[in-house]
């Protein structure tokens, strides 16, 4: 019941050129290791719902996922976000651009966006 965001992104050569392999630096929210190499990205499910029907079980779940990219420079964060977007869009919808910011503690640049992923059961 989880969208295949990691599998899709980790199999895209443009993403792995920026986020590496072994590991690909795309982590579930709260699981990025302390001191992880920049750039990296985190994702989390912020909402979801089944496609409900009367008289039968749902055959589809929809998830809204927030993705945040962290990098040393804003241009690098935007480049990684674009690679992730391009990898994801054949499978899911981008539904929001959440802007850019600078983490006050680390100085890392952040670029965020939301996607909606429909997962067949």
Q: What is the CATH number of domain 5-52+59-120?
A: 3.30.2000.30
Tell me the H-state helices in the chain. Answer: 5-10, 13-19, 74-88
Predicted pLDDT at 75: 98
pTM value is 0.93
* C-alpha span between 30 and 34 (Å, rounded): 10
Mean pLDDT to the nearest integer, 59-71 = 98
Cα separation, 52 vs 61, in Å, equals: 9
Say whether pLDDT at 1 is over 80: no
């Amino acid at each position: 019941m989880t969208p295949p965001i990691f599998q899709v992104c980790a199999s895209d050569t443009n993403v792995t050129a920026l986020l590496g392999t072994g590991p690909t630096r795309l982590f579930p929210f709260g699981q990025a290791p302390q001191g992880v190499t920049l750039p990296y990205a985190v994702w989390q499910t912020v909402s979801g719902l089944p496609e409900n029907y009367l008289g039968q079980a749902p055959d589809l779940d929809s998830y809204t996922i927030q993705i945040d990219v962290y990098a040393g420079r804003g241009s690098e964060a935007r480049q990684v976000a674009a690679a992730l977007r391009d990898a994801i869009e054949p499978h899911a919808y981008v539904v929001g651009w959440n802007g850019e910011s600078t983490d006050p503690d680390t100085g890392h640049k952040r670029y965020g966006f939301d996607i909606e992923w429909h997962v067949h059961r």
